[in-house]
Structure formats: structure tokens, C-alpha cells
Structure 1
Amino acid sequence: MPCFVFVAPSGDGWIVRGDFDDGPLEFATGVRAEQAARDLCHRLSDAGEPVVLEIRLRNGERAGRFLFPAYLAEPTMPVALRA
């Protein structure tokens, strides 16, 4: 079962939250939040955990959903797939 990571607006900034023990990570801009979420997803997939990243806009609409497959030592596999 994949791990889920979400980027969403929060008050004056943006948060990254998901299936991890730490509380939500807070960022001033959506770009920084999205990059941090992608970095986290890459680290989790490199560790063998499939990850779904979902990014929301300020109006609540989904901006994107990406699948980061578990790394299987296959260098020709795509890094992330748009879901």
C-alpha cells in the first residue's frame, strides 16, 4: 500500500503532511512546499516505499497527483508518474 503525501494551503502559507510521524511541515510559498514534498517522495521511493503525492490549490481543487514507484534498481524507470 502506498504512502500518501499532501501539499495544501494553510492560512498564510502551505503545508506538507502525510503518512509520517512528524507533524505537518510549513512553508511560506507553494513552490517551496511542493519541492519539499517531491524531495520527501523521492527519499521514500528510494527506500522502497511507493508514494502518492497530491497537490491542492488555494481554492481546494486538485492541481496534480503523482505516483512515485518504489525504487527497484531499474535506472530506466520514470522517476514519477502523473496519476
Structure 2
Amino acid sequence: MNSTEIIGFTAAILTTAAFLPQVYKTWKTRDVSSLSLPMLLLFFVGIVAWLIYGFLKDSPSMILANSITVVSAFLLIYFKITYGKK
């Protein structure tokens, strides 16, 4: 593994880890009032694009981080739609 991928994995771990507490808090509290659906949708599309880019660049760090973040963003979108109707 070269130094570029080490930096990539470090960034991947930090940025992905920073997003997970929001997913957990939303799941536990079911409070989606502060989440913007348009922002979540734009973010989701952007992360999917980064994931595709990671595959095209053959970058394990980008693939790992964006795979996890795609799932997390999808969950927040699901929570926003499901819990926002109450």
C-alpha cells in the first residue's frame, strides 16, 4: 500500500465515521425534523458518483468509504421519508 492510499484510508475512516453518529441518532430518536430531504438526495447522488469514480480509479479507500456512506445516506433518506410522515 502506498502513501497515497494510506492518506485515502485515513480520510475515508474519518469522514465515514463522522457521518455514522447522525444515522444512529436518527434511528434511535426517529427525529428527522432537522434533516433536509433535498440535501440528502443530492448528497446520495454525489456519494454514488464518488463510488463509481473510486471503482474507475481502482481506489480501495474510495470504494470502502463511499460504499459505507452510500448505505448510511440511504438509511437517512429512508428515515426521513418514513419518520417524516408522522
| Greater strand proportion | 1
Q: TM-score, normalised by structure 2?
A: 0.34
| Greater helix proportion | 2
Structure with greater Cα Rg: 2
Report 1 or 2 for greater relative contact order, CA contacts < 8 Å, sequence distance ≥ 6.
Answer: 2
Q: TM-score, normalised by structure 1?
A: 0.35
